[in-house]
Amino acid sequence: MPKSDLKKRLEAGDLVQAPGIYDGFSARIADAMGFGALYLSGYATSASLLGKPDAGYLTATHMADRVRTICDVIETPLIADADTGFGGIVNVEETVRAYETAGASAIQLEDQRFPKRCGHTKNRDVIDLSEATAKIQIAAEARKSKDFLIIARTDARTSLGLDEALRRCEAFRNAGADILFLESPESEKELEEIGKAFPKTWLLANMVDGGSTPLAPPDTLQRLGFSVAIYPLIGLTAAAIALQHSYADLQNGTANTNRMPFEELNRTVGFERIWALDERFGKDD
C-alpha cells in the first residue's frame, strides 16, 4: 500500500522536492538523502531500461515492475510516471491498481495522444478533453485509498496555448485529480498565472535543465503556489556524464578517482544486512 507521508506533507504546506530516479540503485541513493518524495521518471526509465527515448516504448508491465522493485528498497514516498495510462479507460484502471499495489504514493497520468513524447520535446499532441477527463475520473475511482494521489498532467500548453491548458486542468480537478501538472509553461509569468488560477489546489512544477520551463528555486516555486517540484532527469544526466568520463579514462589508460569506493558501494546496495544475516544464521551453501 502507498505510504501516507506524501499526502501529509502536502497538507502541511511544504514544497515537496522529488529528484528523478530510474532504478533500484538510484532509488537507494536518493532515499538516503531525506527528500520529501522521489520521482520515477518515464524518460529516465526508458533510457536506462531499454536504451530508447521516451516515445511510447515503455509498457505498463515495464513501469509497474519498476515501481515494485523501487518501493521494495525505499522508505521515501514514490511519485510514479504512468504516461497516458498505457491505453484506454480499462488500461488506466488496471495501471492505477498496479501502481497502488506496488507501493507508489502517487501516479501521474497525461493527456497526450499515443505514442507519447517527453514533455519538453517537439511533436506532442493531446487527446480530446472528454477522453482525457474520463481517464482521470476512472483513475480516481479505481484507487483503494485516498492516500494514493492522482496527478493529472496536460501537455496542451505547447500546441493549444496556456488558456486551453488551464481549462483542462480545471476539468481534471473536477474529475478527481489531487495534483495538477501543467507541462511546459514557458516563463515565470506563466508559472505565476497557473498558481493564481488554482490557489487552493496542489500544483506540480517540472524542472528540466534545458527544457521549456525556466528553472526556479524552491522558494520561488512555493511563493508562486506550487506544492511539488520534480527534477526527472537530475540523476540520469549526472550518471551519464560520470559513465562517459569513467569509460573514457579506462580507454585512455588514465586514472579516475571520482568513483564510489567498493566498500561504500557494498553498503549502498545493502550488503551489510546480508553479512549480518550470515553472522546470525551462518552462510548459505
- How do residues 197-222 score in pLDDT, each as one tens digit? 999 999 999 999 988 899 999 999 99
Question: In this predicted model, what pLDDT tens digit does every residue of 7-61 receive, in sequence order?
Answer: 999 999 989 999 999 999 999 999 999 999 999 999 999 999 999 998 889 999 9
- Indicate the pTM of the whole model: 0.92
Share of the chain above pLDDT 70, in %: 94
Q: Which three cell numbers stand for residue 72?
A: 521494495
Q: Single out the residue of 46, 188, 183 nearest to residue 124, CA to CA.
A: 183
Task: Estimate to the nearest angstrom the gap between the alpha carbon of 177 and the chain centroid.
Answer: 16
For the chain, the structural domain boundaries read: 5-240
Residue type for 248, please? A
Q: Using only C-alpha atoms, what is the Rg of the chain?
A: 20
Does residue 269 have a pLDDT over 90? no
Q: Which three cell numbers stand for residue 163?
A: 488558456
Question: In this predicted model, what pLDDT tens digit does every residue of 247-258 receive, in sequence order?
Answer: 999 999 887 778
Question: In this predicted model, what pLDDT tens digit does every residue of 106-123 receive, in sequence order?
Answer: 999 999 987 666 655 565
For the segment(s) 5-240, the CATH number from 1.20.1250.20, 3.40.50.1970, 3.20.20.60, 3.40.50.1110 is 3.20.20.60
Structure-derived torsion over alpha carbons of residues 53, 234, 161, 114, reported in degrees to the nearest 10:
30
In the three-class reduction of DSSP (H, G, I as helix; E, B as strand; rest coil), residue 209 is classed as coil
Q: How many CA atoms lie within 13 A of 5 on its CB side?
A: 15
Look at 166 and 253; give whichever has higher pLDDT.
Answer: 166
Task: Give mean pLDDT, residues 78-90.
Answer: 95
Q: How many CA atoms lie within 13 A of 13 on its CB side?
A: 5
Residue in the block written with cell 504516461: 83
- Assign 62 a pLDDT band (cuts: 50, 70, 90): very high
d(CA 37, CA 19): 8
Task: Give mean pLDDT, residues 144-162.
Answer: 95
Average pLDDT of the residues of the chain: 92
Instruction: Tell me the sheet residues that pair with 152.
Output: 109, 180
DSSP annotation of 72: T
- Give every CB contact of residue 40 below 8 A, 6+ residues apart in sequence: 20, 21, 22, 63, 66, 67, 70, 78, 79, 80, 81, 104
Look at 172 and 260; give whichever has higher pLDDT.
Answer: 172
Instruction: Give 26: exposed, middle or buried? Use CB within 10 Å, 0-12, 13-18, 19+.
Output: buried
Number of neighbours of residue 280 by Cβ within 10 angstroms: 7
Please report the pLDDT score of residue 74 as a whole number.
96
DSSP 234-255: HHHHHHHHHHHHHHHHHHHT--
Query: Helices 162-175 & 188-197, crossing angle to 10 degrees?
Result: 30
Please report the pLDDT score of residue 120 as a whole number.
56
d(CA 32, CA 276): 20
- Assign 285 a pLDDT band (cuts: 50, 70, 90): low
- Assign 153 a pLDDT band (cuts: 50, 70, 90): very high
